[in-house]
């Protein structure tokens, strides 16, 4: 049995019932087969893959909090400090009822390679809780965040581990988490990113993942003789990533006709009104039915359906495995030319292969959504300098980083004879730097 197959088998055996983690490991290791097989004995002797798939540290803790009626609840908190070979652990916190250790490990594992691709000095980590922020009052959110940070603050710091947002964690949550960290540790430091501008945040961080996704798509299309201008685009999700993907897609001349949340989806024949979407989701924290109620050109449908709409470009920006093989077949039959992931692992392995086999340009999340964490690293740099850069400065850096990521990924794919396979390109390019750093630092 090959080394890659041995390690995949070991991961499945040692981490039972962690399907998403198995999926992420399989996807990465399958891509690396060509690199590993060039030098299998050496990689095996140094147990590189075993060290890569085992987190350096994995924390699990109790998070008790009191609701507005005086009822006590207990949630589970997690932080997986996966790999610090190239810098402090860096990665978001997800608050969603579906969170479990397998989900956090898949996200942390992906983050290692994504962060490597940014070219910045950040290692991989991820955390979160099965807490559901939906329908909670601001006071309940604060109570939960304070309790979560009371435990987490023992393990993080500006030079050790720097969490940020992800699903269910935005500016409000980061504020409460930061306040509690500072109160307990007495440190005003860049321990979290995604902070508000008034206490150390970076301009462009809010927009960064969505904008970065479009900078990546723009570069991918251009290098294949295409252009965003005039293209019909479908987006899923209606959160941080989706909103700013829609905004930048429109600025670049695309027409975005859909968005979705976990209850249903919108088809807007006139193109999504991004200001109305921001008001509904960011300010009023309402469902998409509220968007449809205020917009004549919008149809609201219950359930899942954005991938049924005929489009040139599809951007999954909600959650893992939201685009499966049937969706991929529908998109291809409808003439899609590019799919790029705003979310983490939104496309199943089968669907990804179908896109690649059918000549669809496919931007894997660890490359195409890296703009968020890259801008987080720029926030860390500003915090260390105790300076704040302008919007234009950060935005230009973000754009350059995304263009560089595309070209590094493209080059890695070409070097190994897999031209236009950006999945293989991203995994190889991300892996090479991490392995280099791991080898240089010895067996640690």
- Which residues does the annotation mark as catalytic? 126
| 203 versus 343: smaller Cβ distance to ligand NDP | 343
Stretch that binds ligand 2IT, among 45-53, 89-97, 349-357, 398-406 (CB under 6 A): 89-97
Which residue of 77, 87, 91, 346 would you call a contact of ligand 2IT, by CB under 6 A? 91
Nearest-angstrom CA–CA distance, 108 and 90: 9
- Residue 306 is a binding residue for ligand 2IT (CB under 6 A): no
- Residue 258 is a binding residue for ligand 2IT (CB under 6 A): no
Binding partner selected for residue 237 from ligand 2IT, ligand NDP, none, CB under the kind-specific 5 to 8 Å limit: ligand NDP
Which residue of 81, 129, 193, 202 would you call a contact of ligand 2IT, by CB under 6 A? 193
Binding partner selected for residue 90 from ligand NDP, ligand 2IT, none, CB under the kind-specific 5 to 8 Å limit: ligand 2IT
Residues 6+ apart with CB under 8 A from 316: 236, 237, 322, 323, 339, 341, 342, 343, 346, 347
Binding partner selected for residue 91 from ligand NDP, ligand 2IT, none, CB under the kind-specific 5 to 8 Å limit: ligand 2IT
Q: How near is the Cβ of 319 to ligand NDP at its closest, in Å? A: 4
Nearest-angstrom CA–CA distance, 15 and 10: 8
Q: How near is the Cβ of 383 to ligand NDP at its closest, in Å? A: 17
| 140 versus 166: smaller Cβ distance to ligand NDP | 166
| 332 versus 423: smaller Cβ distance to ligand 2IT | 423
Q: How near is the Cβ of 268 to ligand 2IT at its closest, in Å? A: 27
Size of residue set near ligand 2IT by CB under 6 A: 11
HSE value, Cβ hemisphere, 13 Å, CA-based, for 162: 28
Binding partner selected for residue 261 from ligand 2IT, ligand NDP, none, CB under the kind-specific 5 to 8 Å limit: ligand NDP
- Residue 133 is a binding residue for ligand 2IT (CB under 6 A): no
Residues that bind ligand NDP (CB under 6 A): 165-168, 170, 209, 237-242, 261-263, 317-319, 342-344, 369, 372
Q: How many CB atoms lie within 10 A of CB 158?
A: 16
Q: How near is the Cβ of 264 to ligand 2IT at its closest, in Å? A: 24
Residues 6+ apart with CB under 8 A from 438: 48, 51, 52, 85
Binding partner selected for residue 103 from ligand 2IT, ligand NDP, none, CB under the kind-specific 5 to 8 Å limit: none
- Residue 92 is a binding residue for ligand 2IT (CB under 6 A): yes
Binding partner selected for residue 262 from ligand 2IT, ligand NDP, none, CB under the kind-specific 5 to 8 Å limit: ligand NDP
- Residues in contact with ligand 2IT, shown as a per-residue x/- string from 360 to 399 under the rule CB under 6 A: ------------xx--x-----------------------
Contact positions vs ligand 2IT (CB under 6 A): 90-92, 114, 164, 166, 193, 344, 372-373, 376
């Amino acid at each position: 049995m090959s080394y890659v197959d041995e390690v995949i088998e070991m991961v499945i055996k040692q981490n039972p019932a962690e399907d998403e983690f198995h999926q992420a490991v399989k996807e990465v290791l399958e891509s690396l087969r060509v690199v590993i097989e060039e030098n299998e004995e050496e990689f095996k002797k140094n147990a590189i893959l075993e060290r890569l798939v085992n987190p350096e540290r994995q924390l699990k803790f109790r998070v008790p909090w009191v609701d507005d009626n005086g009822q006590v609840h207990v949630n589970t908190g997690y932080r997986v400090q996966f790999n610090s070979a190239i810098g402090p652990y860096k990665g978001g916190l997800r608050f969603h009822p579906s969170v479990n250790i397998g989900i956090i490990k898949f996200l942390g594992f992906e983050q290692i390679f994504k962060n490597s691709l940014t070219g910045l000095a950040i290692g991989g980590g991820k955390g979160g809780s099965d807490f559901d922020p939906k329908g909670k009052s601001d006071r309940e959110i604060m109570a939960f965040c304070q309790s979560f940070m009371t435990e987490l603050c023992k393990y993080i710091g500006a030079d050790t581990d720097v969490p940020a947002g992800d699903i269910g964690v935005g500016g409000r949550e980061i504020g409460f988490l930061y306040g509690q960290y500072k109160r307990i540790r007495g440190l005003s430091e860049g321990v979290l990113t995604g902070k508000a501008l008034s206490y150390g945040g970076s301009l462009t961080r809010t927009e960064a993942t969505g904008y970065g996704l479009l900078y990546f798509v723009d570069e991918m299309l251009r290098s294949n003789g295409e252009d965003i201008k005039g293209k019909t685009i479908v987006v899923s999700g209606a959160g941080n990533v989706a909103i700013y993907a829609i905004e930048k897609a429109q600025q670049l001349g695309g027409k975005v006709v859909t968005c979705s949340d976990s209850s249903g989806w919108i088809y807007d024949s006139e193109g999504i009104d991004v200001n109305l979407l921001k008001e509904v989701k960011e300010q009023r924290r309402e469902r998409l039915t509220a968007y449809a109620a205020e917009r004549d050109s919008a149809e609201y449908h219950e359930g899942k359906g954005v991938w049924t709409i005929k489009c040139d470009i599809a951007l999954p920006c909600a959650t893992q495995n939201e685009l499966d093989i049937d969706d991929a077949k529908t998109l291809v039959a409808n003439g899609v030319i590019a799919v790029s992931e705003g979310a983490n692992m939104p496309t199943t392995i089968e669907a990804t292969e179908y896109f690649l086999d059918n000549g669809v340009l496919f931007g894997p999340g660890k490359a195409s959504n890296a703009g968020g964490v890259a801008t987080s690293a720029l926030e860390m740099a500003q915090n260390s300098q105790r300076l704040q850069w302008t919007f234009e400065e950060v935005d230009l850096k973000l754009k350059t980083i995304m263009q560089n990521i595309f070209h590094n990924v493209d080059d890695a794919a070409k070097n190994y004879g897999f031209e236009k396979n950006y999945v293989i390109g991203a995994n190889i390019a991300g892996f090479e730097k991490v392995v280099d750093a791991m080898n240089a630092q010895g067996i640690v």
